[in-house]
C-alpha cells in the first residue's frame, strides 16, 4: 500500500514539474522571442494543418485531383488573408469551404491581435506577481496594465462576436428576401448558410475570398448585399481602431467605469497597436479612409461609368459598385468587375491603395524651425509640408495623370504604351536621368504605314497634355531637394 502511495506522489510531482517546465517553455517562447518569429510559426502551423484537412476532405468533383502545391497555396492564402487563388473556388465542397473559413478566421488581424493581447496580459500579470507586495497590490504598474488589458480583451471579443453575428443575420435575411440572389447560390450548388458564414468571415478579415469563381461579379446588381459587405470590410480593417474606440467610449458612458477611460487614454502604453490614443488620431484616421474612398470613387466613375463591366446597371447600382471597388482596393480584394478590363489610371491608383498600410492617416504635426523669431516661417513651413505629398506619392499621381492623358494610345497601342514604360519615363524625368524605352513601330498591334522609327524618347509620341505634364515633372524633379520634408504628416502604420 505504501508503495502505491509513494508511486502516486512521485507521478503527481513529476506531472507538476512537467507542467511547470512546459509552462515556462511556452512563456519563454511567447515573451522572449521576437513577435515576427512567433507569428511566422503560427501562420505556418495553421496553414499546414489546414492543408492536411483540405487534402483529406473530398472536393465537389471526385475525379478531379488537386496538386499538393495548389492546396497548400490555398491554405496559406486563406490563413494570411491574401485571397490569391490557384484553384477555382467552386471546386471546394461545403466542408472544405468551412476549413478555409476557419483558416481565415484564425489568420485575421483582429483574432491575431486578441491572441497577442492575451499573451501580453499573462506576461504583465506574471510581472506584477513577481514585483508585487501586500501593500502595493493595487498600485503596481504592471498589475494595473494587466487589468486594463483584460478589460480591453473582453471588449474586442464582444466586438468580434457582435460584428460576425450581425453580419450573418443581415446576409441571411437578405438572401431569404431576394429570391434571385438565392437562385444564384442554388445554381452554383452552394449552401446558403455556408456561403453566408464564409462571406462574413472573409469580408471581416479582409481576405477577399468568395465561394464563387467570379468573386462578386455575379452579385454586382445586388446593391444591398454589397453595402453589407462594405460594412464588414471597413469594420474589420481600416476603421477597426475607430470602431473599437467608439465602442469603448459608449461603454464608458454607460457603465461609468474608469477602466474604459484609461483604455481610451492608452494606459497600456501602446501594447495594443490597434488602439489609437486621443480623439484627434481616431478622427483623422476615419477622415483619411473616407478621403481615399472618395478619390477612388470619383476616378472610377469618371473612367468606368460607361464601361463594359458596369453594363446593365442603373445609376444607383453603379455608385454602389464604385464604392464597393474603392473600399476593397485597400486590402479586402473583392471585386465586381474584371480588373483586366479597367483603365490603367485606376490600376495605378489601386496599386498605391494596396501598398498603403491599413491605418495610414493624415496627421498634421509641427516641425521645429531654428531661431526664436521664425514664427511666420514656421507657420508657412508647417502648412506647405503638411499639404505636400511624399516623393513616392508624387510619382504615383504623375503616373495616373499620364495614364489619363494617354488613354487613347494605351487602348490602341498597348505594347508601346504600357504602364511600365510610362512609369519608366516619368521616374526618369523626375530623377533627371534621361533613360527612355523609346518607341517601336514593330510593336504596334495595328501597323501604321506612316510610322517611322526614330531616336527620340518615348515621350516624343505622347500627346500635348502628356508632354506638358512631363515638363512640369522635370522642373519638379530638379527642385526635389526642397521637398525632402514633404509627406511628414502622413503616418503609415
pLDDT band, residue 385 (cuts 50/70/90): low
Tell me the mean pLDDT in the region 75-94: 93
Residue 17: pLDDT band by 50, 70, 90 thresholds? low
Residue 273: helix, strand or coil by DSSP?
A: coil
Domain ranges (residues) in the chain: 375-491
- pLDDT tier, 485 (very low <50, low <70, confident <90, very high otherwise): low
**Helix, coil or strand: residue 361:** strand
Q: Is the pLDDT of residue 261 over 90?
A: no
The whole-angstrom separation of Cα 245 and Cα 274 is: 10
- State the chain's mean pLDDT as an integer: 84
- What average pLDDT does range 83-101 have in this prediction? 94
**pLDDT band per the 50, 70, 90 thresholds, residue 271:** low
Distance of alpha carbon 1 from the chain centroid: 65
To the nearest 10°, the Cα dihedral for 81, 82, 85, 90? 30
The percentage of residues in the chain with a pLDDT greater than 70, rounded to a whole number, is 82
Using CA atoms, how far apart are residues 247 and 459, in angstroms rounded to an integer? 53
Task: Dump pLDDT digits (tens) for 153-187.
Answer: 999 999 999 999 999 999 999 999 999 999 999 99
Higher pLDDT, 488 or 72: 72
Looking at the DSSP bridge assignments, the partners of residue 361 are 491
Is the pLDDT at 434 greater than 70? The verdict is yes
> Across the strands, what pairs with 314?
none
Q: What is the largest CA-CA distance in the chain?
A: 108
* pLDDT value at residue 81: 94
Amino acid at each position: 500500500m505504501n508503495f502505491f502511495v509513494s508511486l502516486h506522489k512521485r507521478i503527481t510531482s513529476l506531472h507538476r514539474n512537467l507542467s511547470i517546465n512546459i509552462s515556462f517553455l511556452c512563456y519563454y517562447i511567447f515573451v522572449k522571442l521576437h513577435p515576427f518569429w512567433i507569428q511566422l510559426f503560427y501562420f505556418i502551423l495553421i496553414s499546414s494543418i489546414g492543408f492536411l484537412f483540405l487534402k483529406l476532405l473530398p472536393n465537389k468533383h471526385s475525379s478531379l485531383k488537386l496538386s499538393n502545391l495548389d492546396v497548400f497555396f490555398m491554405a496559406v492564402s486563406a490563413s494570411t488573408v491574401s485571397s490569391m487563388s490557384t484553384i477555382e473556388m467552386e471546386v471546394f465542397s461545403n466542408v472544405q469551404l468551412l476549413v478555409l473559413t476557419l483558416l481565415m478566421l484564425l489568420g485575421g488581424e483582429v483574432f491575431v491581435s486578441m491572441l497577442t493581447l492575451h499573451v501580453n496580459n499573462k506576461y504583465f500579470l506574471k510581472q506584477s506577481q513577481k514585483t508585487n507586495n501586500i501593500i502595493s497590490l493595487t498600485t503596481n504598474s504592471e498589475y494595473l496594465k494587466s487589468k486594463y488589458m483584460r478589460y480591453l480583451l473582453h471588449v474586442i471579443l464582444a466586438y468580434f462576436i457582435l460584428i460576425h453575428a450581425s453580419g450573418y443575420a443581415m446576409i441571411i435575411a437578405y438572401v431569404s428576401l431576394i429570391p434571385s440572389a438565392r437562385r444564384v447560390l442554388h445554381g452554383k450548388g452552394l449552401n446558403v448558410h455556408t456561403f453566408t458564414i464564409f462571406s462574413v468571415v472573409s469580408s471581416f478579415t479582409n481576405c477577399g475570398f468568395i465561394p464563387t469563381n467570379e468573386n462578386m461579379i455575379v452579385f454586382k446588381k445586388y446593391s444591398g448585399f454589397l453595402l453589407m459587405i462594405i460594412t464588414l470590410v471597413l469594420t474589420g480593417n481600416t476603421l477597426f481602431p475607430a470602431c473599437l474606440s467608439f465602442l469603448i467610449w459608449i461603454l464608458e458612458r454607460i457603465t461609468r467605469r474608469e477602466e474604459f477611460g484609461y483604455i481610451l487614454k492608452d494606459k497600456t502604453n501602446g501594447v495594443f497597436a490597434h488602439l489609437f490614443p486621443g480623439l484627434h488620431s481616431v478622427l483623422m484616421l476615419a477622415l483619411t479612409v473616407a478621403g481615399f474612398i472618395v478619390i477612388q470613387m470619383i476616378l472610377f466613375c469618371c473612367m468606368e461609368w460607361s464601361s463594359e463591366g458596369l453594363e446593365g446597371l442603373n445609376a444607383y447600382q453603379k455608385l454602389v459598385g464604385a464604392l464597393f471597388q474603392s473600399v476593397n482596393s485597400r486590402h479586402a480584394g473583392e471585386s465586381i468587375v474584371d480588373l483586366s478590363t479597367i483603365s490603367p489610371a485606376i490600376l495605378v491608383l489601386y496599386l498605391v491603395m494596396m501598398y498603403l498600410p491599413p491605418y495610414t492617416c493624415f496627421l498634421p504635426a509641427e516641425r521645429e524651425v531654428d531661431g526664436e523669431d521664425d514664427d511666420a516661417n514656421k507657420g508657412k513651413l508647417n502648412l506647405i509640408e503638411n499639404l505636400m505629398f511624399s516623393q513616392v506619392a508624387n510619382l504615383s499621381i504623375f503616373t495616373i495623370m499620364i495614364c489619363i492623358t494617354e488613354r487613347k494610345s494605351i487602348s490602341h497601342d498597348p505594347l508601346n504604351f504600357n504602364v511600365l514604360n510610362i512609369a519608366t519615363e516619368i521616374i526618369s524625368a523626375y530623377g533627371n536621368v534621361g533613360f527612355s524605352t523609346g518607341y517601336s513601330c514593330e510593336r504596334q498591334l495595328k501597323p501604321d504605314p506612316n510610322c517611322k522609327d526614330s531616336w527620340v524618347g518615348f515621350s516624343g509620341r505622347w500627346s500635348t497634355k502628356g508632354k506638358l505634364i512631363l515638363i512640369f515633372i522635370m522642373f519638379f524633379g530638379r527642385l526635389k531637394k526642397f521637398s525632402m520634408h514633404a509627406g511628414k504628416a502622413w503616418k503609415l502604420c
